[in-house]
Copies of this chain bind each other. A is one copy, B any other.
Amino acid sequence: MAYPQTTFPHTHFSSPSFISRRRDVVYSTTLLYQLNVLKSTGRYDAFKLKWHPSYHDKPDVWPVPNHLFWDSDVAKWIEGACYFLQREENPHIDVAVRELVAMIRSAQQTDGYLNIHFTVVEPSKRFTNLRDLHELYNAGHLIEAALAHSQCYGDDSLMEPILKYVDLLCLTFGPTPEQKHGYPGHPEIELALLRLYAKNKNPKHLALAEYFIAERGNPTGQDGRHYYDVEAEARGDREHERPVYYPKSRSYCYQQAHEPIVEQQTIEGHAVRAMYLLTAVADLRLWKNMTEKKMYLTGGIGAQKQWEGFGIDYFLPSGTDEGGCYAETCAAIGVMMLAERLLQLDLDGKYADIMELCFYNAVMTGMASNGKQFTYINQLASSDSDLSRRAEWFTCACCPPNVTRLLGYIGGYLWSFRTDENEKSAAVDIHMYSSATLSIPVGDSVVEIEQSSNWPWEGKIEFAIRNPAEVATTIKLRIPGWAATWQISPDLPNAQPDKGYISLPPDWLNAHPNFHLEIPLLPRFISPHPYTNQNIVALARGPIVYCVEDVDNPWVDDHFKNLLLDPSCSVTERTMSTSTSEVGESYIGLTAHNAASHLLGDSGQLAPHVPFNSSPRVQQPGIEQLYFIPYALRDNRGGKGHMRVGIRRKQ
């Protein structure tokens, strides 16, 4: 299977679209903004292996030192930078990448070991706490950085030390008695090793990835016991000593290590870890459990703050004051990574629907329109304790560079393709719409597929195929599951989607190199599953999920908690131009007319009972116009931070 991180250079974004605008912001602003933060916080120079004053800090989340992720912060920035440098040169970014690579090379120990914390702060504690301390997670991100770097620069200056480090890992971990039978507390290196194997075909790398995956959760892996138990005992941990993210002792589901992955029936624990692990194993069973029972309307996952992860089935409150809502940006990026793997295994629009849902909502909400503020947690409703606000940075800064690198290779998500040089054929599956051109070399020829649209705001996508006569090209076009109708012009006889994709055969494409697909984007009401006990409705239009914000509805003083919405109302669209919207994007807002009212306060006289009253307990007059904007564009215009996606349904 090809990887989007490898195939994205085949895609060239053309006329402005939502995606290309976000990429422009990242390249013009975010990469340099994040570089400055790396420098000002000490991360940039950390591979020089000098002591930084913050290394003395008490951990925010014991036993995890605050700086433990610095290796990965740097690695993710390099990875993202290298993706963008392949698009266009930038001397400032180039210099930084070269300097960082030199520092990383210089940081390598003689045996190949490469890690900031365990070289500078606790050199004697290497590989003694795989469960909590992100050592192998950092290694995974270094591998991904090296892959991006070698693809961009065409040299091995970063790959060389990383391969040397991987050699050490291959010696250290494995099934022989002398090796440690451990695996990372935070999966990531597995998918990185699989990508490394795809590039270099070194079977050692595949074997280590498979070992980490298969050994995970083995109840008798080390000396007849769970590796994490043996490891903890060796550290001198006590039975009831546990990190705050463990609801009880031995909560190994936090790391998806409570049982072997093949035996797990429901998706549990830390959401990002789960996604990174499943991306490596492309597990379908748990995908189904996740999307049907543990995913928010926005594509966000993870209701529980304590372990940054999944609650029980259907436990999906909208915000802190209702029981939680985490929906970490990185987790939604992880869902996209997993969806992309599943699409490669089984072309089914369900995966692409979720991939697109996550991108336009749970992921894109994670960065401000100016490219300089970010979220980590993405609640579906604000509260006094958690306003709808982005931040400039985080102590644990996994999310901002993750958005950067995703946008760097997002072209790889738009479509996937296969070619057969002998048969002179190409097959392209188009998953997401935008304005971009895909160039596919087939032998000496190049097939070009250009799509032009103002997606996701407008539903008409024009296609132009530049297909050499000798290449038989087949295209599959995704028809989103939410699309009530769609039309291809010129007419495609007997067109019926198969698992969400319409097939355009070579003959038809030769006859119609210019065609268009039209998917009417109409506002629609959506709800979560009734088992969530969220009697709410939300507005969506195409892949975009909407929210209400106080900027447009300034009367709000309760985070829209008492708002009642009648979903039988009329909803109109309004085009918000760039100049007035201040979100760097001309977008479609929605207005619900005469649809909203307020819940009447209960006196509490008969509490805990509220007497049932057949007439709606609503306050008159209602709200004539209730204004919605895309959830991803929230908190770009100031305001007081009141926001809500799902609104209480009027009975």
Contact = CB atoms under 8 A, between A and B. Distances in A.
Contacts of A533: 317, 322, 533-535
Interface string A538-568: 0010000000000000000000010000011
A618 to B, nearest CB: 11
A610 B63 contact: no
B248 A612 contact: no
Contact of A599 (B306, B322, B530): B530
Contacts of A461: none
A393 B561 CA distance: 44
B321 A609 contact: no
Nearest to A531: B561
A533 to B, nearest CB: 5
B610 A530 contact: yes
B526 A292 contact: no
A16 interface: no
Contacts of A531: 322, 561
A288 B313 CA distance: 32
A312 B306 contact: no
Best-buried of A313, A323, A528 by chain B (most CB within 10 Å):
A323
Interface of A: 62-63, 238-244, 247-249, 288, 291-292, 295-297, 299, 306, 311-315, 317, 321-323, 350, 353, 357, 481-482, 524-531, 533-535, 537, 540, 561, 567-568, 599, 602, 604-612, 614, 648-649, 651
Given A238-B238, A291-B607, 20 more contacts: A240-B241, A240-B244, A247-B247, A292-B607, A295-B607, A296-B608, A297-B608, A315-B323, A317-B533, A524-B612, A525-B611, A526-B606, A526-B609, A527-B610, A528-B610, A529-B608, A533-B534, A567-B612, A568-B614, A651-B651
A350 B288 CA distance: 48
Contact of A605 (B247, B315, B350, B609): B350
Q: How many copies make up the complex?
A: 2
Contact of A530 (B248, B529, B611, B648): B648
Contacts of A534: 533
Given A533-B535, A567-B614, A651-B651, A608 B323 contact: no
Nearest to A529: B610
Contacts of A357: 608
A169 to B, nearest CB: 29
17 contacts: A62-B240, A63-B240, A238-B238, A238-B241, A241-B241, A244-B249, A291-B604, A292-B608, A295-B608, A322-B531, A524-B612, A530-B599, A531-B561, A533-B534, A535-B535, A540-B609, A651-B651
Contacts of A312: 321, 323
B242 A292 contact: no
Contacts of A649: 651
A604 B292 contact: yes
A554 B612 CA distance: 27
Contacts of A306: 247-248
Contacts of A602: 529-530
A628 to B, nearest CB: 15
A414 B21 CA distance: 73
A36 to B, nearest CB: 35
A379 to B, nearest CB: 14
A64 to B, nearest CB: 12
A247 B248 CA distance: 8
B323 A311 contact: yes
A315 B303 CA distance: 14
Contacts of A248: 244, 306
B247 A612 contact: no
Contacts of A530: 599, 602, 610, 648
A459 to B, nearest CB: 18
A501 to B, nearest CB: 15
A529 B607 contact: yes
Nearest to A650: B651
